[in-house]
Structure formats: C-alpha cells, structure tokens
C-alpha cells in the first residue's frame, strides 16, 4: 500500500534520508558534468531515486529534443515513472515529433490523447496499438481513451469491449493501488469506462440499452453527478421527459451546488417543450435569463480582465477553496466546480508533490548541483502552476462559452415554443385550456425494474437522488 509505504518512507526519511539523497544526487552531478546528454535518462533515474521529479523534467525534455530515437526500456521506465508523478500535462505540450521519439507507454498515451483531441482517431489508435502492458499504470487510462475513440468513431462493439476491459483492468489496478490520489484517478477512470458503455450505446441511439447501462454506475461514484445529466439526456431521447425532469431536479440538491452545467436548465426547458407545456418552457427560459444574464456579463468581464495571468487563475481557485467567495454566482459555481474537477485535482496533486521537492532540495549538499536542480524545479513548478492556471482559465472560458451556448439554446427553445404556440393559434387550438393540468400522476410514469419511485416530499434524500420522476401530463395534441 502506498500509504503505508509512504509512512515507511517517512520513517526512513526520518532516520537516514539525508545520506541517500546525497549519494544519488552526487551520482547525477557526475553524469551531468560529463556533458553527455545521452546520459540524461540515467541521470534522471538517479534523481527519481531521490524523488527529484520536477527538477528532472527539463533533463528528460532536453534529452527527447536532442536525441534521435529512443529504444531503451530503461528510458521508458524512467519516463513512465516520472510522468506518473508529475502528470502528463508537463509533456503534452511537447511537439508530437519530439514525443514520437519515445516508445514509452505513457508517451504513447500522451500522443494518442493529442491525436484524439485533434480528431485523428486512427492515428490515436495507432499510438495505442503498440501494446501497453496491463500492469502499466497508464493502462487503465489508455483503455479509457481507446474506448472513447471507438465510441466517437461509432465503433460500438469495440468500444464496449474496450470499456469492459478498462473496467476490469482498472479494478485490478485499484486493488493494487495505495496512493489515494492515484486511487481516485483510477476509480474515476474506471467509472468513465463504465459509462463509456452507455455513452457508446447512446451514440448509437440505443437509448434503452444505454438507460440500463447507466444504472451500473454507482451513485457514490465521483462522476455520478456529472453522469446523471447524461442519463437525463438519455431519458429525453427515450421521450421519457418526466424522468428527464426528475433527474434534472436532483441538481437542486445542495450537495450538487458545485455543479456547473447550464445545460441542465436547457434540457429542462427542452423537456417541458417536448411535453408541450409552453408556459413551463417559457418560464424556465425566462428564469434562466433573469438569473444569469447580468451575472454572466459580469462573469465574462471578470475573466476577460484576468487576461492570461495564470498565476492569478491558480490563486483564484485556491483562494475559493480556502473560503474566499466571490460576488458572482456563476464564478463561485465555476470555481467550486473546478476545485472538484478530477483533472484539476490531478494537476494540483502533482504541483503539491513538486512543492515537497523544494524541501528535499535543501538537503542537496553540492551547491552547483542544488542550484541547477533548483532552477529546474523552479521552471517545472512554474510551468505546473501555469498549467493549472491555464486549465482553470480554459475552464472558466469554457463555462463562459457554455453560458453563451445555453442562452442561445434557451432562446432557440423559446423561439421554437413560440412557433408552436403560433401553430396552435393558427390551428385554433385553445390558447388557454380550461382543463386543469394535473401534476404527479402515476399513469404518466414509465418504470423499469431497476428503478424505484420515490414520492417527492420536498426534501432530498441522498439515496433518492437521480430517481425522481415527474408526472406531468403532456399538453401535446
């Protein structure tokens, strides 16, 4: 267990760490002094031995840039070890041709991610095609990526198969993993693989299958709150709008207040629209506009004013997590949401690891070496902080875009409703029906054996979350 290992390490650290550090660093210094960059992997290996991860990064990068091709399992091991500690972000920024010099599983994973992002799915699969051993720490993540590639490229069967493998292998890794951060990452990755199946089914318009598959995700999952929204969409496609609305109402629970997803309201409006409840739809749209229109303007102005000062972004989340609340609901939710984002957590965990390195650096006796490593560490940590800041900025911008998109969607929904209202008027359908609409009617529910119906009593119970179902009668003719 990593945790006990850590405590042991700490124990060791307390007893004889200083001498060990000194030895490896000295070895590294010697290699460095040779001026032979081909020996950098070895040097880094020495440094890793001393947990000098962030200070090693520049050496590895330099090695990759200067070398032609690496066919060295030792190097691969070093790289895998290093990335496992500092995160993939530090290396993602390297150009593809540099990264391609290495066959290290983690590097391939990084390349596949880059290709995936660029929409080059086949290329991404090629990167992943070279076998990554099941034991490799990046394996669960690689499988998630692979499944996703199949999924988006409409290869459902492969996707499902890969996702299932992903779940299995992730579970194997979870069993072995002790580090709490990595464990969380693995679980999250596993759960993504788990919902990769319904996602794929959803993409293939197999909504019924997807509906059942989504139920496999445990409500305790870290990603469940986010996936609930996908389930809502799936119900929507199943034309089970009451269930969609029920799932969406879950987001009103205070425990989900950190969720930033304006699309929740959009989907709600859409569901009302599909039920031909024009006034409910319009009310939802108007409520959204009333609530967010001005806030969003201020929000945009605020984040625009921050420019690209990544340090500022970094501080923003950090301070929010420390309890400094801003005077803008969107910003607060966005910051809360980012603070709970797995990627952010991973980046931040790495950064914190880097910070620990500073302490360790003090133990380095060789001043020149310490200065060199300090410079490296500084550079890498700065970069890590900037990566975090950039990530935050990206998210804040993304949220801003989501808000715009939501407003746009809301307007389109309203326009659609208005069109339908016009049609009704033209076709002489009573504009204001005298028939009282009844809410909460069982007859309007479509239930499966995996679900339970909970009577809404005004309170949210944790185990009810996601299971609410509305029973509105459709006003459609």
Partner 1 sequence: MVPLNTTKADVEQRRSELLKVLDEELREVTRLNKQVGAQRPDLMIRMAQVLLEKGRILKDLENQKFLEIPAGERDKKNKDEVFKESRQYFDQAQKTVLTLIKKFPHFEEKADAYYILAYNAKEIKQEEQSKKYFQKALNESRSGTVVADKSRIALAEIYFNSGSFDKSLDLYESALKTKRDKWWTKDAYNLAWSYFKMGKYDKAIATMNESYELSKNNKFIDMSKNIERDLAFFYTEAGRSDEAISFYKKNGRSVSEVMLKVGKYLKTQGKFAAAEKTLNDGIQYKQNEKEEVEFNIELLSLYEKFGRDQKHLESCRALAVQFSKGTLNADQLEVLKFNSQKMAALVQQQLVAKTYEHQNEIKEKKADSAYEYFMIASLLTPAKSQEDFFHAGETYFAIGKYDKAIPLYAESIKRSQQNGDKLTEGLASNALMVSLGKGVKKSTSDEFLIPAYESFLASSPKGDKSSVIYQRLFSAQIEKKNFVAAEKVLINYKSAFPLENETQEKMLAQIMDHYKDIGDKSALSSWAKRIDLGEFKVSQGYAQKVKTLVLGMQFEKVEQASNKGDKKGALLGYLQIYKSPETDVEAKKTAAYNIAVLFYDTGDANQMYTWADRSSSMMNVNEMIKFEKDYILFSTDLFQRRQFFESAALSEKVFDKICLSDSRNKRIFFKNANVIYLAEKQFEKSKNLLVKAPKCGLKNDIILPAYLDHLNELAAASKWSSFYDIIKMLEVSKEMWPDLIYPSSLLASELESIGRVGDAKKIRSQMVAYFETSKKQKLDIPLEGLDAISLVRLDGLEAQVKKLSESKLAFPEGVYNKILTNKFVLINNITTEAVSIAEIGSGVGVVKAYRLLLTAYKSLSNEINNFTPEGKSSDYINSFKKDMAKRVALLDKQAQNFKDTAIKKIEKENILSSDNAWFLAKNDLPFIPVYFNESGSALMDKAGTK
Q: Which residue has the tokens 């390297």?
A: 94
Q: How far is the CB of 475 from partner 1 (least distance, A)?
A: 16
The nearer residue to partner 1, 68 or 428, going by C-beta atoms, is 428
Q: How far is the CB of 283 from partner 1 (least distance, A)?
A: 13
Q: How far is the CB of 331 from partner 1 (least distance, A)?
A: 19
| Cα 362 from Cα 210, distance rounded (Å) | 55
The nearer residue to partner 1, 116 or 288, going by C-beta atoms, is 288
Q: How far is the CB of 397 from partner 1 (least distance, A)?
A: 15
Total residue count of the chain as it appears in this document: 477
Q: How far is the CB of 401 from partner 1 (least distance, A)?
A: 11
Choose among 110, 105, 109: nearest CA to 136: 105
Identify whether the C-beta of residue 408 lies closer than 8 Å to the C-beta of residue 333: no
Q: How far is the CB of 269 from partner 1 (least distance, A)?
A: 13
Alpha helices in 362-470 (DSSP H): 367-426
3-class SS of residue 474: coil
The nearer residue to partner 1, 222 or 412, going by C-beta atoms, is 412
The nearer residue to partner 1, 205 or 419, going by C-beta atoms, is 419
Q: How far is CA 239 from CA 246, 263, 439, 449, 474, in A?
A: 13, 18, 18, 18, 11
| Cα 446 from Cα 469, distance rounded (Å) | 9
Q: Write the CB contacts of 374 (distance below 8 Å, at least 6 apart in sequence).
A: 55, 361
The nearer residue to partner 1, 357 or 409, going by C-beta atoms, is 409
Identify whether the C-beta of residue 234 lies closer than 8 Å to the C-beta of residue 210: yes
Q: How far is the CB of 295 from partner 1 (least distance, A)?
A: 13
Q: How far is the CB of 411 from partner 1 (least distance, A)?
A: 4
The nearer residue to partner 1, 214 or 399, going by C-beta atoms, is 399
DSSP string, 135-161: TSTTHHHHHHHHHHHHHHTT-HHHHHH
Local structure of residue 37 (DSSP, 8 states): G
Identify whether the C-beta of residue 284 lies closer than 8 Å to the C-beta of residue 269: yes
3-class SS of residue 78: helix
Quick one: residue 205, left, alpha or beta (phi over 0 = left, psi -120 to 50 = alpha)?
left
Which residues form the interface with partner 1 (CB under 8 A)? 289, 404, 407-408, 411-412, 414-415, 418-419, 421-422, 425-426, 428, 431
The nearer residue to partner 1, 431 or 443, going by C-beta atoms, is 431
The nearer residue to partner 1, 178 or 422, going by C-beta atoms, is 422
Q: How far is the CB of 432 from partner 1 (least distance, A)?
A: 9
Q: 442-471 burial, b for 16+ CB within 10 Å, e for fewer?
A: eebbeeeeebeeeebeeebeeebbbbbbbb
The nearer residue to partner 1, 299 or 470, going by C-beta atoms, is 299
Q: How far is CA 192 from CA 197, 198, 379, in A?
A: 9, 10, 33
């Amino acid at each position: 267990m990593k945790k006990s290992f850590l405590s042991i390490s700490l124990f060791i650290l307390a007893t004889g760490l200083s001498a060990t550090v000194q030895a490896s660093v000295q070895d590294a210094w010697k290699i460095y002094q040779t001026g032979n960059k081909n020996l950098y992997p070895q040097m880094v290996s020495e440094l890793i031995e001393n947990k000098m991860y962030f200070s090693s990064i520049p050496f590895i990068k330099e090695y990759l840039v200067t070398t032609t091709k690496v066919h060295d399992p030792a190097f691969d091991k070093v790289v895998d070890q290093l990335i496992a500690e500092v995160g993939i972000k530090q290396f993602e920024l390297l150009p593809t041709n540099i990264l391609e010099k290495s066959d290290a599983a983690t590097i391939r994973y990084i390349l596949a991610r880059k290709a995936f992002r660029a929409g080059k799915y086949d290329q991404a699969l090629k990167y992943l095609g070279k076998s990554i051993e099941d034991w490799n720490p990046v394996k669960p993540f690689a499988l998630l990526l692979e499944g996703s590639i199949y999924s988006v490229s409409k290869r459902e069967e492969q996707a499902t198969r890969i996702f299932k493998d992903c779940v299995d292998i992730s579970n194997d890794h979870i069993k072995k993993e002790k580090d709490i951060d990595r464990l969380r990452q693995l679980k999250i990755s596993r759960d993504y693989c788990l919902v990769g199946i319904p996602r794929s089914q959803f993409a293939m318009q197999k909504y019924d299958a997807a509906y059942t598959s989504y139920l496999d995700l445990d409500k305790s999952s870290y990603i469940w709150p986010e996936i609930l929204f996908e389930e809502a969409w799936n119900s929507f496609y199943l034309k089970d709008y009451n269930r969609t609305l029920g799932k969406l109402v879950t987001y009103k629970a205070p425990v989900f207040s950190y969720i930033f997803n304006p699309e929740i309201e959009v989907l709600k409006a859409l569901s009302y629209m599909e039920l031909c409840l024009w006034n409910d739809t319009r009310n939802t749209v108007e409520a959204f506009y009333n609530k967010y229109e001005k806030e969003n303007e201020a929000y945009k102005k605020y984040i625009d004013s921050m420019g690209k000062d990544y340090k500022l972004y970094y501080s923003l989340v950090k301070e929010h997590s420390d309890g400094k609340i801003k005077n803008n609901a969107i910003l607060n939710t966005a910051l809360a949401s980012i603070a709970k984002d797995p990627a952010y957590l991973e980046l931040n965990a790495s950064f914190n690891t880097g910070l620990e390195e500073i302490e360790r650096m003090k133990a380095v006796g060789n001043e020149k070496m310490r200065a060199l490593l300090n410079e490296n560490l500084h550079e890498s940590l700065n970069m890590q902080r900037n990566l975090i800041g950039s990530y935050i900025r990206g998210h804040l911008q993304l949220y801003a875009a989501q808000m715009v998109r939501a407003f746009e969607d809301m307007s389109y929904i309203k326009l659609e409703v208005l069109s339908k209202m016009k049609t009704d008027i033209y076709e002489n359908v009573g504009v204001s029906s005298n028939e009282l609409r009844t809410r909460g009617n069982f007859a309007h529910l479509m239930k499966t054996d995996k679900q339970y119906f909970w009577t809404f009593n005004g309170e949210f119970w944790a185990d009810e979350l996601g299971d609410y179902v509305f029973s509105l009668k459709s006003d459609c003719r």
